[in-house]
Amino acid sequence: MKTIEVKKPSGYATQIGPAHPALKEPVMFTLDIEGERIRRVDFVPGMAHRGIEWMGMRRNCIQVMYLAERICGICGITHAISFVRAVEQIAQIQVPNRAHYIRSIVGELERIHSHLLWAGVAAHELGFDSAFYLAWRVRENVMDLLEYLTGNRVHYAIIQIGGVRRDIVPDQFPRIEESMKFFENAYAQLAAVFLDDTTVRMRCRDCGVLTTDEARELCPVGPTARASGIKKDVRIDHPYAAYADIEMEYQTPDLLTGEVRGDVYDRIVTRLLEVKQSIGIVRQLLAMLPDGPLLAIPKPAVLLAKLKGAAGEAVGRHEAPRGEVMHFVRLEAGKDEPVAWKVKASSYSNYLSWIPMMEGEQIADIPIIAASIDPCISCTDRVALVRPDSRRILTKEELHRLSVEKTRRIQAALAKRENP
Amino acid sequence: MSFPMIPELLGRLFRKPNTNPFPAAQLPPTVTGLLEKVGKGEARLNPPVPVPAKLRGKMTYNRETCIGCKLCIKVCPAHAIDFIESTKKIRIFVAQCIQCGQCTEVCPKNCLALSEEFLNASHDRYADALVVD
Amino acid sequence: MNLLSPPQIAEVLQAAAGAGFVSARCTEWAEGVKGRKSKQVWLKIARESLIPTLQRLVAIHYPHISVIACADVGAQVELMYHFHVYWGIPHEEVLVTLTVALDKADLKVPTITGIIPGALTSEREKQEMLGIEVVDIPDGRRLFLPEDFPAGVYPWRKDETGIPPDMIKDLWATGRENLKFEDNPPPPAPNPANPVNPV
Amino acid sequence: MNASLLLATIVGTLGLALFGIFAGLWFTGIDRVLAARMQARIGPPVRQPFIDLAKLLIKQNVVPANAIPWLFNGAPLLALASAITILLYVPMAALPGLPVLGLQGDLVLVMYLLLIPGLAMVAGGLASGSPYATIGAQREMVTMIAYELPLAATVIAFAWKLAQLGALHPFSLAAVAATPIWTVVGPIGFVGLLLLLATLLLVVPGELGRIPFDAPEAETEIAGGLLVEYSGRNLALFSLSLAVKTIVATALVVALFFPWNFTDFVALGGAPAFAAAANAAFFLLKLLVVLFFSVTLVRISVARFRITQVVDVYWKILGALSLVGLLLVMVDAHVR
């Protein structure tokens, strides 16, 4: 790892987070800084841990599937696809091909919406709010398309163990094609604003660098790895869903800029290239959409019975917008709920690469470097631990009473201080 | 030195903003005051963004055809459905419901369905509007 | 480079595991119209041969570690090290899972961060969630649990060191038990060990 | 100073203070609405700064535990007072009685007075004892040092030109207002003046701490930097001083580069009050145009600079630009 030897022992520690305008989710960075330069950084996640794996081991597989979908607010379908693929391998359920294609299409649409959301957040971290509004304005189109196809903007509830629950019918094709055309010329404008802008280049070039061998050792995934030249993409390496039927290329920055530097700028380039790639994939899959049933086992009650009989362990993986998401599931015969369920979100692997990126940089760069791996902290924190106070649950009235009491106490203290 | 944002910004100066001003363009002095005026017909709320056909909104429940088989309770991921022993019927808490629609598929009598009603916000989790039974 | 087939990988790793080898199996799973198969190799090995097997795997191709999964199977705690080799070559990736069973009396396992630094996050999580002691881990602090989380309680264990019932709060039931509906007596407390607001 | 002049000065100062605050808040409101419309948003109502001010005044004024109370509370007052004093020296639309202290002060004094609000914010930031505020204070000092070079070069160019034309007090603002600079230079000088105008337009965002030079209050980096510990009345005073500074900075640009008045173009026969009103309106219009091109458009079309880049831009790029402008003005004087 790139370590910085510092002559002077001066400098002081400061802290960014857990609540800070730059961080959309609670994670705490403790920084050893000297003037503006960062010498050492340490981060503490875990503030948004909700105990989803623990909850998952007390629900049957259909319920767990919707729980998995809510691990992350942005990449819901990736966790659903990964969990469902693991359970299908254990129960040996062959999913009809049309369902594979619909899963991949909605997965790619989610990649477009997630990357545009990230582009907006990154622009806001740079203080470039107009690009934030532009990116999120363009993103509305794919959100409306997803709402049109799946009935909801974020949590699509379209995945079921053994297939999908909603069909993409031919009279929806023109609406999809119209959105894809919109995104093609929107891509040109976004690429200009995010890549050719002088100030963005000044802020992002050679900032937060992750060298190729650092990237290989720390095993980051997704755009963070590809921006450092590591060719890792689950859709290409691991043949699954509809991705096994089409040819794709690893999106590394040299396709556009001709060189790989592994800095924040390259991560922007990688993500924009992926948006363009996703548009192409959606069109290809729509053209090759096979017809056939949507569900291997249409009736949920029959499905539950079959899952109760299944036993074994398997790994389900999917290329989330932020990188590889992996679910390890182990089922035992006669038990409804999974015996073991391990969720590995993409930010889980990308966390460690924060350290080499931030050391040696300025304080001003922390927000953009932290945002450059597109951390999804709610994905990575999954166990909720409530302080074990002995009292029972506080109802709303009690909470209200407590807060009123506290305000009275503060006012009394203030009054005492004003005129002792 | 290139600033590709400038033409886009200047162009926008003479076009309508992209925001849909639902319920009102600017914050009224008092929200309750505005709602009263709307009630009396003096003021009008801007409509929300039009909603696509099969939006998954608030649950609807047909009590007569329900046979109390409790399959919906078995598949509901969010414990949103309560079983009423005395009348062998169910009660759905919309505040807990995550609109996944799994119960609408498992129900043998199709007495559960997702409507397109999405304006379900309320300060009380168990307000009458948020309990379907 | 010539790619080894899953059985060949299993063979090579079995040789490297030596006495610690327990069992191996290869599985496949096809999806999509063309039916391209994805390949997995599952090995069960003893704790002592974890490092040599991993070093042999690094010789085949520098692996990408996804995560160290785990399962509490009563007398033992099983750790599943999920590696992937041949990433970067389209459609050729192979999942190699090394399963190490540790009995609950002696929950120690050597760290692999020497070979793959990226495994640190996984190892720290296993330490705090299962009570496993990863020998000479570079940074053994808690990761996801708060500092003042009670020591000795390991959330993923299913035995007595797991989450005690009184720490479980059924938030979905909050406020539901004292609802007064004309034709509906309040539902029974969902978790007898944790009486919800016995008013 | 006889009594009537003293009385006129006091009344003039009060009037200018009210004008500075009122116009400053209105211009901030217009700036926010224009920025919103350019970003395809509806944006707040134009009177939003007044609403914010009213809200701040009723909020609790928290003084942090490890702060230095007297400096923490004194800094906002100093910032507002010094911002208003600059208004006393800047000529505005040749209205009678303005500038109130026009005869005493000159450009050099205005340049120094421009630093005092910044120093007050630095003092307030360092007094509030929060690590973010300390970083913000360091950055504010560095930003002030940085934009001094191009500002000084521009002022020297004006003074040199006026001295070359034989003006008695080359630095005095009255002299600058009397001879519009564009009319006394040839083609080479014209290009030089264009460079100087561009420099001054980019110095204004630095003075006001707006993007791309808002490292001291970088919201996403150090959470409001200098003003992170301020609340209630103190924060209201600081936002007022920023509003007045907006008027001051833009009025300086107008005074130097666009000293013409409405009556110079259209001979208005009517009562002198009518002509004065027309001049005042024309002056406000000039302020708005300068505000649009130097603050509003700049702050939404670029990203925020790091503090090292702020110094690079001001010393290397704008410094060179202003020195070249100065040389061109000098060369032009010899060529004619």
* Residue pLDDT, tens place only, C33-57: 888 889 999 999 999 999 999 999 9
Determine contact, residues A113/A271, Cβ cutoff 8 Å: no
What integer pLDDT is reported at residue A420 of this predicted model?
57
- Helix or strand run (H / E) with residue D243: helix D232-257
Would the CB atoms of A137 and D40 count as touching at under 8 Å? yes
Nearest by CB to B9, from D42, D45, D300: name it: D300
Judged against a pLDDT cut of 60, whether residue A38 lies above it is answered with: yes
Judged against a pLDDT cut of 80, whether residue C178 lies above it is answered with: no
- The residue-averaged pLDDT of A47-53 equals 71
What is the torsional sign of CA D155, D158, D164, D167? negative
Determine contact, residues A3/A41, Cβ cutoff 8 Å: no
Question: CB within 8 A of C121, min separation 6: which ones?
Answer: A348, A349, A351, A352, C143
* Residue pLDDT, tens place only, D28-63: 999 999 999 999 999 899 999 999 999 999 998 888
Would the CB atoms of A128 and D131 count as touching at under 8 Å? no
Most confident of A370-379, B38-47, B75-84, D118-127: D118-127
Would the CB atoms of B86 and C184 count as touching at under 8 Å? yes
What integer pLDDT is reported at residue A7 of this predicted model?
47
pLDDT band at A417 (very low <50, low <70, confident <90, very high): low
Query: Which has the minimum average pLDDT: A65-74, A326-335, A410-419, C65-74?
Result: A410-419
- The residue-averaged pLDDT of A298-327 equals 91
Query: Measured between CB atoms, does B87 come within 8 Å of chain C?
Result: yes
Would the CB atoms of D41 and B26 count as touching at under 8 Å? no
- The residue-averaged pLDDT of C68-85 equals 90
Show residues of chain A in contact with D302, CB under 8 Å.
Answer: 128, 197-199
Judged against a pLDDT cut of 50, whether residue D156 lies above it is answered with: yes
Query: Which has the minimum average pLDDT: A331-335, C54-58, C179-183, D92-96?
Result: C179-183
Determine contact, residues A182/A141, Cβ cutoff 8 Å: yes
Longest dimension (CA), chain B: 76
Q: What is the DSSP letter of C18?
A: G
Neighbours of A241 (CB within 10 A): 23
**Cα–Cα distance measured from residue A396 to residue C112, given in angstroms and rounded to the nearest whole number:** 48
What integer pLDDT is reported at residue C55 of this predicted model?
93
The shortest C-alpha distance from C181 to chain B (Å) reads 10
Establish whether the linkage from the previous residue to D99 is cis, with ω within 30° of 0: yes
What integer pLDDT is reported at residue D91 of this predicted model?
81
Judged against a pLDDT cut of 60, whether residue A51 lies above it is answered with: yes
Judged against a pLDDT cut of 70, whether residue A389 lies above it is answered with: no
**Cα–Cα distance measured from residue D165 to residue D178, given in angstroms and rounded to the nearest whole number:** 12
**Cα–Cα distance measured from residue A304 to residue C174, given in angstroms and rounded to the nearest whole number:** 29
Judged against a pLDDT cut of 60, whether residue A395 lies above it is answered with: no
pLDDT band at A43 (very low <50, low <70, confident <90, very high): confident
Q: Is B113 helix (H, G, I), strand (E, B) or coil?
A: strand
Query: Measured between CB atoms, does A257 come within 8 Å of chain D?
Result: no
Q: What is the DSSP letter of C160?
A: T
* Residue pLDDT, tens place only, A231-253: 999 999 998 888 988 889 999 99
Query: Which has the minimum average pLDDT: A32-41, B19-28, C103-112, D321-330?
Result: A32-41
Determine contact, residues A172/A144, Cβ cutoff 8 Å: no
* Residue pLDDT, tens place only, A90-100: 999 999 999 99
pLDDT band at A263 (very low <50, low <70, confident <90, very high): very high
The amino acid sitting at A344 is K
Q: Is A184 helix (H, G, I), strand (E, B) or coil?
A: helix
* Residue pLDDT, tens place only, D261-280: 877 777 776 777 788 888 88
What integer pLDDT is reported at residue A63 of this predicted model?
87
Show residues of chain A in contact with B3, CB under 8 Å.
Answer: 197-199
Q: Chain-wide mean pLDDT for chain D?
A: 88
Closest-CA residue in chain D for A34? D135
Cβ contacts from A onto C, under 8 A: 165
* Residue pLDDT, tens place only, D160-180: 998 888 888 888 888 888 888
Q: Which of residues 92-121 of C touch A (CB under 8 A)?
A: 92-93, 95, 97, 116-121
Structure-token match 């050099």, residue found:
D108
Show residues of chain A in contact with C157, CB under 8 Å.
Answer: none
Can you list the positions of beta strands (E) in A119-219?
159-160, 163-164
Residues paired with residue A295 on neighbouring β-strands, in sequence order: A163
What integer pLDDT is reported at residue A119 of this predicted model?
92
What integer pLDDT is reported at residue C2 of this predicted model?
83
Judged against a pLDDT cut of 50, whether residue D257 lies above it is answered with: yes
Judged against a pLDDT cut of 50, whether residue A393 lies above it is answered with: no
What integer pLDDT is reported at residue A404 of this predicted model?
62
Q: Chain-wide mean pLDDT for chain C?
A: 84
* Residue pLDDT, tens place only, A179-206: 999 999 999 999 999 999 888 888 899 8
Residue ranges, chain B, pLDDT below 50: none
Closest CA to A317 of A351, A294, A285, A343: A343
**Cα–Cα distance measured from residue A83 to residue A65, given in angstroms and rounded to the nearest whole number:** 7
Provide φ and ψ at D127, rounded to 5°: -75, -20
What integer pLDDT is reported at residue A394 of this predicted model?
41
Show residues of chain D in contact with B10, CB under 8 Å.
Answer: 38, 297
Judged against a pLDDT cut of 50, whether residue C196 lies above it is answered with: no
What integer pLDDT is reported at residue C193 of this predicted model?
52
Closest CA to B12 of A179, A189, A112, A276: A189
What integer pLDDT is reported at residue A400 of this predicted model?
53
Our CA angle for A309, A315, A320, nearest 5°, is 125
- The number of angstroms, rounded, from the C-alpha of A284 to the middle of its chain's C-alpha atoms is 25
Closest CA to A236 of C30, C93, C4: C93
- The residue-averaged pLDDT of C154-167 equals 83
Is the pLDDT higher at A138 or at A383?
Answer: A138
Would the CB atoms of D303 and A197 count as touching at under 8 Å? yes
Query: Measured between CB atoms, does B42 come within 8 Å of chain C?
Result: no
Judged against a pLDDT cut of 50, whether residue C8 lies above it is answered with: yes
- Helix or strand run (H / E) with residue C68: strand C64-73
Q: Please report, rounded to a whole number, the percentage of residues in chain C having pLDDT higher than 90.
A: 36
Our CA angle for D21, D22, D27, nearest 5°, is 95
What is the secondary structure of A78-98 as a DSSP string? HHHHHHHHHHHHHHTPPPPHH
Is the pLDDT higher at A176 or at B45?
Answer: A176
Closest CA to D131 of A29, A351, A355: A29
What integer pLDDT is reported at residue D48 of this predicted model?
93
Report ipTM for this prediction: 0.87
Query: Measured between CB atoms, does A211 come within 8 Å of chain C?
Result: no
* Residue pLDDT, tens place only, A111-158: 999 999 999 999 988 888 899 999 999 999 999 999 999 988 888 889
Q: Please report, rounded to a whole number, the percentage of residues in chain A having pLDDT higher than 90.
A: 42
What integer pLDDT is reported at residue C185 of this predicted model?
47
Query: Which has the minimum average pLDDT: B62-76, C145-159, D232-246?
Result: C145-159
Judged against a pLDDT cut of 90, whether residue A336 lies above it is answered with: no
Closest CA to C87 of A232, A244, A220: A232
